[in-house]
Structure 1
């Protein structure tokens, strides 16, 4: 039995920083088991990451550790893999110059609601220090760095001043710090009535999201400008769009603005939730254009742009048999649930959340071939150097 419509209020005025996280654990809908697409997209960009690492000043290796940070690390193996790549690449740079490598430290940072327990269970054991460079570089089942978790929003300060050599953040900066207040205010012209995302929304609504993204990114850059060491660099990847129109959110729009949207409308139509309950839920995501991103970096002024481009990532749906529509439906619902399930659960409760995602899966199954062809992600890739 589903609860009566009036009893399904779980959280009012959700605090994103307290709630937002990728779905933890190791279940079917968890981020751990639904981040293969991110892994493939990240792998295709490794050459750009290594170009960024080659610009980092090595400094004195005798006194201080070399510190890397992954911001928005989530709880899967992707973050561990990329940190391993970064540290081994820097080891090779030291070795190539005939320098003794420093000790390495890696911080995994995300919001306090992140499933750090699952993340650290995936972390390989520490290798013994004192082994040779060749052994360190060849170690596949051990790590050659000290690890720690840092909870908190990356839109604020997280680390001591001048303590970090390299910042890395992938597939995170499109998540906003909050839903713009005007978007859920019935009295505002930006009120996103009838929608749970800005794809296809009014221009006023989309501009409210754009302003929030710009404010958030500026805060991110200001914080990192205090924390990064001289000669340090950042490598940033976030969901992007190729259209200049912010109401066209590209792949993110198809993911959240079509079958996910329709599933919410189904719940309203069937009397399971009110239209007002739907209208007070919005996905806090904004896929910027290249120009959106560039304007903020240049206006903030702390970092020089070494590289800024739109990179085609491909589909977020990973299926073994593309001709099987049921697999596409399952991939769609698991993708949606892994990144938005926590927010949906908090807004309408577990039982109604299950009903919602059942409808997402059904719609995905009915439109399998179309989804695989149309649902393609583009990413903004930025390599930034600290301006001393």
Structure 2
């Protein structure tokens, strides 16, 4: 019998993370596309920051990145936020406050690698203008906060800005009905929602909306009056939730095909494949809006689909081998920990070698057609 509290949600929280370290397969070295997409969204982020209420009281200005992972992308974004806010204070003639940044992710996240990317703290004996302008130092106090963002993480009314990018599409769990052979939502033969039946799609959608509602309830208590949230998660342009856009091509075609290869080659059973599903959901604008409006705690300042580009960054787009390797490494950096936990590292290696082979064969098509879309939401307390 499983120990008390060790249900499907806590099991996922214990193992889910982007690949840690700084090696070839790490998230730190396979998140260049996220960095590029985040940079292209900076005008939208700064628009959100311009709406944050400034306080003349001597209280720290607190920024949180939820789903920070273990690369340098989160540090870049925090730096952008704090520099922007410091300039806003200065423009109004206020002396900028002290800044604090919390980096939050699940306890399984590689916080050690993340903190190795942090620049040293600036000497606060100097002026804030000097510390903000010095790119080799940081002008904020930093801390890590382990825990699921689907629950409370911070004291009431303590946070000025919440930022979360490329994380909210991760569900708290695979919907239980999706793995139940007796359920209409049983996702037989598949490891992802893309191309699944309507019942499976609805189970994923319901899980996403349940999780997002929990996220909003927690943030509504933690956000200061006048604060704002900037949220980015994988989205889709289709009304049909089984059509997961570019995400479907990655997880529902290439990873799916690799699982099928292992079954056909007798390396794993079909039952082993069918007992695994990737807990990710690309939302539509309507899916997202319904939850925010039903919760009622937040006003939507902006909600749109953002065309983010390719998830694959390569030096030689015409080199099929490089494209295949890049796609396999990108998928492994995000899903490899879950796959290795399900079938072991050896078979995980076999699976991702099949992903690489398949994507190399279709490299030209991949580079021409794969396209990621994101939900971008700027919301503040109602």
Superposition TM-score tier, normalisation by shorter sequence: over 0.9
8 A Cα contact 2:235 2:375, kept in partner = yes
Q: Distance in 2 between matches of 1:277 and 1:265?
A: 11
SS at match of 2:242: coil
Aligned length: 376
Q: Give the CA deviation at 1:292.
A: 0.5
8 A Cα contact 2:132 2:138, kept in partner = no
8 A Cα contact 2:8 2:173, kept in partner = no
Matched with 1:8 is none
Q: Distance in 2 between matches of 1:252 and 1:227?
A: 32
SS at match of 1:187: coil
Q: Which of the numbers 53, 58, 68 marks the counterpart of 2:63? A: 68
Matched with 2:229 is 234
8 A Cα contact 2:61 2:99, kept in partner = yes
8 A Cα contact 1:333 1:361, kept in partner = yes
Residues 99-121 of structure 1 show CA distances to partners (whole Å, capped at 9, x for unaligned) of 01111000000000000000000
Matched with 1:328 is 323
SS at match of 1:346: helix
Q: Give the aligned CA root-mean-square deviation in angstroms.
A: 1.2
Indicate yes or no: 2:52 matched with 1:56. yes
Using the size of structure 1 for normalisation, the TM-score is 0.96
8 A Cα contact 1:325 1:366, kept in partner = yes
Q: Which of the numbers 110, 124, 141 marks the counterpart of 1:115? A: 110
- Structure 1: runs of 5 or more not aligned: 1-11
Matched with 1:125 is 120
Q: Which of the numbers 174, 180, 205 marks the counterpart of 2:175? A: 180
SS at match of 2:377: strand
Residues 169-204 of structure 1 show CA distances to partners (whole Å, capped at 9, x for unaligned) of 000000000000000000000000000000000010
Q: Give the CA deviation at 1:13.
A: 6.0
Q: Which of the numbers 249, 254, 260 marks the counterpart of 1:265? A: 260
Q: Give the CA deviation at 1:373.
A: 1.4
8 A Cα contact 1:61 1:100, kept in partner = no
8 A Cα contact 2:152 2:218, kept in partner = yes
Matched with 1:41 is 37
Matched with 2:82 is 87
Q: Distance in 1 between matches of 2:202 and 2:230?
A: 26
SS at match of 1:307: strand
Q: Which of the numbers 245, 248, 256 marks the counterpart of 2:240? A: 245
Q: Which of the numbers 211, 214, 221 marks the counterpart of 1:216? A: 211
Q: Which of the numbers 291, 300, 303 marks the counterpart of 2:298? A: 303
SS at match of 2:161: strand
Poorly superposed stretches of 4+, deviation over 6 Å: none
Q: Distance in 1 between matches of 2:125 and 2:263?
A: 63
Q: Distance in 2 between matches of 1:61 and 1:94?
A: 12
